[in-house]
Amino acid sequence: MITDRRAALAGLSASLGTLLASARPIAAAVPPIAILAGKLTQGGWARGQMANGSSLKLDGAPVPVDRSGGFFIAFDRDAGPSAMLAGTAASGSTTTLPLTIAPRQWQIEHINLPMRPGALPDEEFLRRRAAELAQINAARAQNRPSEGWRQAMTWPLTGRLSGRFGSQRIYRGMAASYHSGLDIARPAGVPFAAPADGVVVLAAVQAFTLEGHLLLIDHGMGLNSAFLHCSALNVGVGDTVRQGQAIGRVGMTGRATGPHLHWSIKWRAAKLDPLLFLGAMPTG
Ligand SMILES: [Zn+2]
């Protein structure tokens, strides 16, 4: 009986050894890609890890990977139901990780009125706007080294949420553009803080026509935050900011109907929902 058990154990050990031996070369050849944190949904994001010394693509577009194999990806408000991560090892072997992107129910308001045509923009506005958009695009195109993308973001300000990301009005079938950020209503002059570390890439000292005094923070890896309608800015272009640092004050400069902080987050061209980066709003 003892001999039988010994024989069985020896057999088991041998087959385990064969399994490990056959598993090892495959594991070494295929770079593993893992999602470590995030919200795989429209307007959401993910942080992940992959084998070092390899390249990564999301739906065919290259994604930067840091020295330790860390990466950040995100999904636009109107992203489709699936995405594909594809990694290539230094050896040339590839692996894929299919992602399912959950759809959201956006707050849609149907208004039984024609869309307001608004005053025709005059030449002066168009000229100023073109210059402002050029500044915004140039700022977003910078890729400043920052580790902010690794952090769990914190609320820049607490208060009543007066506008949600993705909400949209439809005027007799004509869809207006959706709301691209999170609005937090507080009186003008209340300070707000950086939600994560970053580098200031734009500080509109002269108020922009729509955004007013605008602050753009680069969190690294293509992730950035925009803060609109400020009454004051505490930081300037090139400054490094730390999570929790007061960077400006709430206001209603530019096109705003009342004092509030409008906070938008983008990863490259993808517009993201700030609420998906945050925990519950702190009380008090
Ligand atoms: Zn807003």
Whole-number pLDDT of residue 115: 81
Compute, in angstroms, the gap from residue 2 CA to the centroid of ligand 1: 76
Q: 92 C-alpha to center of ligand 1: Å?
A: 46
Which residue spans of the chain are classified as CATH 2.70.70.10?
A: 123-163+180-277
Q: What is the pLDDT of residue 27?
A: 47
Nearest of 240, 237, 190, 233 to residue 212 by alpha carbon: 233
Range(s) of the chain covered by CATH 2.60.40.10: 22-100
In the block, which residue shows the tokens 């702190």?
A: 282
Cα 86 to averaged position of ligand 1 atoms, centre (Å):
35
d(CA 105, CA 43): 11
CA 190 to centroid of ligand 1, rounded, Å: 17
Q: What are phi and psi of 140, to 5 degrees?
A: -65, -30
Q: How far is the CA of 226 from the centre of ligand 1 (A)?
A: 11
The C-alpha atoms of residue 261 and residue 226 are separated, in whole angstroms, by 10
Give the Å distance between the CA of 5 and the centre of ligand 1: 72
Confirm or reject CATH 2.70.70.10 for domain 123-163+180-277, answering yes or no: yes
pTM of the model: 0.86
Q: Which long-range contacts (CB under 8 A, 24 or more apart) does 60-67 make?
A: 60/86, 64/221, 64/222, 66/221
Separation of CA 228 and ligand 1 centre (Å): 8
CA of 256 to the centre of ligand 1 (A): 8
Are 54 and 87 within 8 A, CB to CB?
yes
* Cα 103 to middle of ligand 1, angstroms: 22
The Å distance, Cα 211 to ligand 1 centre, comes to 10
Superfamily name and number for 22-100: Immunoglobulins (2.60.40.10)
Chunked mean pLDDT (size 10), the chain, 284 residues:
46 43 46 90 96 86 93 98 92 90 95 78 90 96 93 97 95 91 98 98 97 98 97 98 98 96 97 97 84
Confidence (pLDDT) at 52:
64
Q: Residue 121: what pLDDT?
A: 77
Calpha distance 281→284 (Å, rounded): 10
Residue 80 CA to ligand 1 centre (angstroms): 24
CA of 181 to the centre of ligand 1 (A): 5
Per-residue confidence (pLDDT) for residue 92, from 0 to 100: 84
- The single-letter code of the amino acid at 196 is A
Q: Could you tell me the distance, in angstroms and rounded to a whole number, from the CA of residue 120 to the centre of ligand 1?
A: 22
User: How close is the Cα of 238 to the center of ligand 1, in Å?
Assistant: 25
